[in-house]
Structure 1
């Protein structure tokens, strides 16, 4: 958080204004002089001045390499005046959001900060005439009392706008927004949907209506909607859904293409279509597009289009209450400043989504993660019907709206967990009836999403978190309530309930106790002059801790290079669990019995809680019934499910490993992971179990019960491509096309269903041969950080910015960024980076999109999740061929799923290159260049690029010259 400034009224005309670059800044002094300063001169220039106006204080001081100092951060004022409004956290971003002419450069940005401040205070004056003026005024008063630098200026603006100060609301109550939020009410359940089909011609007609008469006609989009209608045909046989795989090239307009038949089916059949995507960013994009279906009726759109995410993404009002009370009990605390802005946002938010929703992503960096993750239910402690804010809860609102919506926009993780819980526990296992119709956008990620959803990990952190959830804080200062406190009103006085609860909580002490990480860290001692020789091993009575210690010993014994190199931070190491040492097998069996002693009484507790609904049906009031149902559901999901999965995994250790050549169902292995500041010797060990083919449980739990699935992406299929570097675009590829479809079907689990999937493909409308150039640079030294940074600098300056740099390793990204940032700054090009800048990916992309001559470095998430049309993205530079990571899980899948060895690796690399290339051209007017800095690029991977694209192998200088010639000037 930016240090608070003195509570003087900001004049917005005489304060110095600071705009930071990388180790340089532009400073508009108090007397109106614009200075270009090196970082070391900034502090001296600010000495004796008022605190400066700036945008994004934490990032500004970090880019200058200076400690934070008092400042008036315009982002804080923007968050108060324009809550839940998107804006990139830069002077240009705020100017665009406020309808001001954007600055041209850093100097003009410094000169317009006063104008931005004045415009924002004008917005505050306008708030004084709104119905919520008393609440807004009271919030500003409470923030001013906590030392908010903008407090006096905001209160003055509200007074000028006509607000009464002091207002009609006590500032002490201003942050208690839960008292003023709308309540949901229960409604009758929705009837099962009908099964009327959607005809292809009807889908085309609906699409035309969505686009409007003035829209540009795109034949490919209409063809796509025509094909997508097939996914909404009635199911003929139970367990045999209609599955359509539809590949739509970039620029097809597939979102509206599938929304046309989906919305028509929902209206015609009074049912709900769930639209699922992989990334939060695309989830929000699809929600925005889907509202166009009901553009003429804004209120109807909110009721008929609902965004669903996991409970941990939303503001928890009970956590908010705890934070507000803590701030009230600490008058000197500045916590009320951040809470005041959260209160302003929550009252304006569409759905209370605090992580990836309409709370700006830069808010976390300004005020700390405690104001986002700390205010959400990140640890599964929701008490549902027992919560005093249950009927104003954002999550409960979204759940109930989704039950009656036409379109629910969710994510792969949520829909898979929901289906898995329903499959294991029936209707008590989830909060929604399972949908019958799905659209999976970003369908190429289904395999990875299923892999995460159905995998099991036993680690110290996860097991200790479950203990904390069951037992509470165990003496430490924490808001952790523990299971007894959460269930007390339901079990107190019921002997049949108190007994199992007591037994489970007593048995939970077998899970890692507080301080487990220190006890598991190996003690080191000098033995005969060898400083790496281990001292006596710790004696661990706790069965979880004892097993974890032995598993770490096993990994360190079996990995390669476990000497000095293993002390490098940020590394991972894996080894096979088999053959299982006798000592490990005995410890695993002991822990398995201990976990069963926790799960068994919890299962009994759930059974007896649900029995109360039947036995005491006439006596239980509605809130109690809701609490019992929610408690049973949470116990199943949060405790019993993991415990039974861990027990099953430990039990598997006693089984003999598959014979060589036999296909296993699961892959078990150990991973030792060194997090920031750790080495492998002190890292955390985990026992992992993955499905060899995770689409098997996906098909069984989600796909088979459904009636219809549309799986779509721009990159569903792999194409092997020509044998030579440059083009044989017209060569026949019939065999490769069929192979590509079959691989795509296996990748999404369609091959596990009774009937074959339908197939559709619509080509991109872009002329890639005309709009793009593609180069493989052949003279950049592989593995040399200086040479790699120099190559990025040469290419980014040749394009004048607008470059996206993609890396396959975080360590290389950081090393290149450290060398590249000052060099680009000297060229007037800003540089931002994932894993370096403390902002979420969506915020970094917003900045990149807004600052059209900046550059951005990123890894996988940037390769797949960036949509930046126009000049802001005109160059993609990939540092090396994106081969899959050669870990144990990949080894087993390569052997058993691919059936063709290295071709499996090639397919993955080609699809990743296709995704990266797809970032480049997003509209018909775009021009762009794709560069791969890896001279080892094999010709067999060139099928990753669109037909007609000539891939040239050139030197760095030649590539830079071609970029300058090809890209249009600004």
Structure 2
């Protein structure tokens, strides 16, 4: 920081926010002011804060201004964490550059900021060097031709890029290709041991993030920092989590381990090139046994294992440990005479350790026979491309976050959708917020949902079933879209439903009907926003983050309440655990999951103060079931009706209005 940071900071949050809004040509918003003051109070009192700030509130400025003020007043760094790359880019490329220039005249100096991503977002020069020496070292033989051109382009790019940042590669490459030139934090050798440590892209990015006021990162890296003993992020005492409704899922993902026959075979293949004394062949053979064994088992959760399965896992665990010990002992002089080979040895050693530890974790689950006492959930996931994956994930991340995140720093959690059933309690419980140690604020929205939007529930339609969309439902969609003159975003519970609806609508309607998957999501959304009379149908990716203000969108259709799949092993286990504890697993897990998505989906409608329209839910359970009121309370407070004639009339008037 600057030496001037110890000078008293006289500007208030209100003054700084006003200067920022004026500089960027905005207008004062009561919700934004209320949120900024609440964030400031939370940082000063060191109390956690949960804030719901609807579309149009301007929540980014409402937390960035207090964050910068706090960082400069205390000569510290504030961490801002997001769930999506889109918001990360918005903050770093648009919001912060404009904000620091606006605030500089009010402060002792211009605030500073940087971005930090996980190590696997950057090219690993050591891995690129290895792949150059052994082109097929990390690629399964059946995939060499498919990946060849992409990997070759990555090698060429490695000689040109200044940052090694995957986001700057245009056009991009597949995840599988990127894995050939990147490493996870656990696979990294460390800058001091790596032959390319001095020029490492990830280390250079990390260095830029030291000693700045605001560091923008993502939930995954935040989780790694909180859960590991190593210090990944710069030292800090404040974390601001935007898109906080995604926190539970992202933390769970980081804390999940997986084992597959493919990962075992590739590890054995890598080991064979380093001289594994035959232990690579043992692992390869056991990988084949694993593939056969798991293929005979039903996908889904394991609540217990039989002795043959336990024996198979123990054999794999021991083989990995034996191979790891062999690989960890390099021939004398290898580190000096062949540093690239030595680096690959250390990298593989770390990877084998991860695979071994995953199996230890899985076996530990079944050290206790009672499934109700398990802290982790184990399941088999079946994929047509990668065959079977054995996964283990935490039953809950609440205790982990309680001890590792909330006990260590002041945390502000913000999102457009945090209240479930009308309050913050469900989200607070899923995060593990300490009782009595947090405050909340619903900053509202500049829109008036009752005057701007209608929530229509098609009560007369049959309850959705498993056989796809009914003829009555398809007729309802056609009638609504016709009344709206196109202008429809269709949010469907499955890809099959979206495609069925599109296939049925194209011959019936005089409008372009686009379906997710036909082109990249960005291209489809751009076409939809520019063609006022078009329709865009899709699944989960469209429920969140799609921003189409104006007349291009006046109807959002939701085909059914988005309850999680009943066979989702992790959510099923969490629901059963809630029931066992005397709570309602359905309400705590399934209904809460659906409520958040319903709120996100309905939030696509009103993106600007002048927007008007209808959210049409084609699932009668929203008004016929007791839990329907819980779901409706989680959505914007629209005017509500079940009368199809009223809704069609309203949509036609929107088309006719200037």
TM-score (ref. length: structure 2)? 0.81
Report the 3-state secondary structure (helix = DSSP H, G, I; strand = E; otherwise coil) of the residue aligned with 2:620.
Answer: coil
Structure ranking higher on relative contact order (CA contacts 8 Å, 6+ apart): 2
Report the 3-state secondary structure (helix = DSSP H, G, I; strand = E; otherwise coil) of the residue aligned with 2:296.
Answer: helix
* Aligned residue number for residue 771 of structure 1: 452
| Residue pair 1:589, 1:651 contacting (<8 A) in 2 also | no
* Aligned residue number for residue 855 of structure 1: 535
**Aligned-pair distance for 1:222?**
0.6
1:419-498 alignment, distance < 5 Å? 419-420=226-227, 422-423=228-229, 426=230, 430=232, 432-433=233-234, 435-468=236-269, 470-471=270-271, 484=274
Work out the CA distance in 1 between the residues paired with 2:76 and 2:537. Answer: 43
**Aligned-pair distance for 1:892?**
2.4
* Aligned residue number for residue 20 of structure 2: 210
* Aligned residue number for residue 358 of structure 2: 645
| 2:654 is the counterpart of 1:951 | no
* Aligned residue number for residue 300 of structure 2: 574
| 2:384 is the counterpart of 1:675 | yes
User: Which protein is bigger by CA-based radius of gyration?
Assistant: 1
| 2:276 is the counterpart of 1:276 | no
The 1:631–1:321 alpha-carbon spacing in structure 2 relative to 1, beyond 3 Å, is closer
Work out the CA distance in 2 between the residues paired with 1:461 and 1:770. Answer: 55
* Aligned residue number for residue 498 of structure 1: none
**Aligned-pair distance for 1:950?**
2.5
| 2:279 is the counterpart of 1:589 | no
Work out the CA distance in 1 between the residues paired with 2:329 and 2:199. Answer: 32
| 2:211 is the counterpart of 1:404 | yes
**Aligned-pair distance for 1:293?**
1.8
| 2:648 is the counterpart of 1:964 | no
Greater shift, 957-966 or 440-449, is seen at 957-966
**Aligned-pair distance for 1:600?**
5.0
* Aligned residue number for residue 575 of structure 2: 894
Q: 1:220 aligns with which of 31, 36, 41?
A: 31
- Alpha-carbon deviations, 1:751-781, whole Å to 9, x = none? 3xx8622222212221111111121124555
Report the 3-state secondary structure (helix = DSSP H, G, I; strand = E; otherwise coil) of the residue aligned with 1:450.
Answer: helix
| Residue pair 1:419, 1:434 contacting (<8 A) in 2 also | no
**Aligned-pair distance for 1:317?**
6.5
Work out the CA distance in 2 between the residues paired with 1:646 and 1:323. Answer: 28
1:344-363 alignment, distance < 5 Å? 353-354=165-166, 357=167, 359=169, 363=171
**Aligned-pair distance for 1:908?**
2.6
| Residue pair 1:198, 1:230 contacting (<8 A) in 2 also | no
* Aligned residue number for residue 140 of structure 2: none
1:333-348 alignment, distance < 5 Å? none
Q: Which runs of 5+ in 1 are unaligned?
A: 1-189, 236-241, 328-333, 475-481, 485-501, 514-541, 556-572, 613-619, 677-682, 720-736
Q: 1:876 aligns with which of 556, 559, 562?
A: 556
Q: Which runs of 5+ in 2 are unaligned?
A: 136-147
Work out the CA distance in 1 between the residues paired with 2:85 and 2:480. Answer: 31
Work out the CA distance in 2 between the residues paired with 1:903 and 1:197. Answer: 50
Report the 3-state secondary structure (helix = DSSP H, G, I; strand = E; otherwise coil) of the residue aligned with 1:897.
Answer: helix
* Aligned residue number for residue 415 of structure 1: 222
Work out the CA distance in 1 between the residues paired with 2:15 and 2:475. Answer: 53
* Aligned residue number for residue 746 of structure 1: 429
* Aligned residue number for residue 931 of structure 1: 616
Report the 3-state secondary structure (helix = DSSP H, G, I; strand = E; otherwise coil) of the residue aligned with 2:396.
Answer: coil
**Aligned-pair distance for 1:440?**
0.7
Work out the CA distance in 1 between the residues paired with 2:527 and 2:416. Answer: 25
Work out the CA distance in 2 between the residues paired with 1:703 and 1:219. Answer: 29
Q: 1:688 aligns with which of 373, 391, 399?
A: 391
**Aligned-pair distance for 1:961?**
3.6
The 1:713–1:398 alpha-carbon spacing in structure 2 relative to 1, beyond 3 Å, is same
Work out the CA distance in 1 between the residues paired with 2:237 and 2:394. Answer: 25
* Aligned residue number for residue 477 of structure 1: none
Report the 3-state secondary structure (helix = DSSP H, G, I; strand = E; otherwise coil) of the residue aligned with 2:55.
Answer: coil
Greater shift, 222-231 or 882-891, is seen at 882-891
**Aligned-pair distance for 1:291?**
2.0
Report the 3-state secondary structure (helix = DSSP H, G, I; strand = E; otherwise coil) of the residue aligned with 1:930.
Answer: strand
1:438-837 alignment, distance < 5 Å? 438-468=239-269, 470-471=270-271, 484=274, 507-511=279-283, 513=284, 542-555=285-298, 573-578=299-304, 580-600=305-325, 638-658=351-371, 662-671=372-381, 673-675=382-384, 684-704=387-407, 706-719=408-421, 740-751=423-434, 756-780=437-461, 782=464, 783-785=467-469, 787=471, 788-821=473-506, 824=509, 827-829=510-512, 831-834=513-516, 836-837=517-518
Report the 3-state secondary structure (helix = DSSP H, G, I; strand = E; otherwise coil) of the residue aligned with 2:490.
Answer: strand
| 2:112 is the counterpart of 1:304 | yes
The 1:576–1:274 alpha-carbon spacing in structure 2 relative to 1, beyond 3 Å, is same
The 1:768–1:307 alpha-carbon spacing in structure 2 relative to 1, beyond 3 Å, is same
**Aligned-pair distance for 1:292?**
1.9
- Alpha-carbon deviations, 1:115-168, whole Å to 9, x = none? xxxxxxxxxxxxxxxxxxxxxxxxxxxxxxxxxxxxxxxxxxxxxxxxxxxxxx
The 1:667–1:341 alpha-carbon spacing in structure 2 relative to 1, beyond 3 Å, is closer
| Residue pair 2:502, 2:515 contacting (<8 A) in 1 also | yes
**Aligned-pair distance for 1:254?**
0.8
The 1:900–1:323 alpha-carbon spacing in structure 2 relative to 1, beyond 3 Å, is closer
| Residue pair 2:328, 2:345 contacting (<8 A) in 1 also | no
1:50-129 alignment, distance < 5 Å? none
| Residue pair 1:412, 1:449 contacting (<8 A) in 2 also | yes
Report the 3-state secondary structure (helix = DSSP H, G, I; strand = E; otherwise coil) of the residue aligned with 1:758.
Answer: strand
The 1:197–1:219 alpha-carbon spacing in structure 2 relative to 1, beyond 3 Å, is farther
The 1:687–1:218 alpha-carbon spacing in structure 2 relative to 1, beyond 3 Å, is same
The 1:784–1:343 alpha-carbon spacing in structure 2 relative to 1, beyond 3 Å, is closer
The 1:885–1:317 alpha-carbon spacing in structure 2 relative to 1, beyond 3 Å, is same
**Aligned-pair distance for 1:378?**
6.6
| Residue pair 2:301, 2:377 contacting (<8 A) in 1 also | no
- Alpha-carbon deviations, 1:301-352, whole Å to 9, x = none? 999332222333345667889999999xxxxxx979x9599969976x9x55
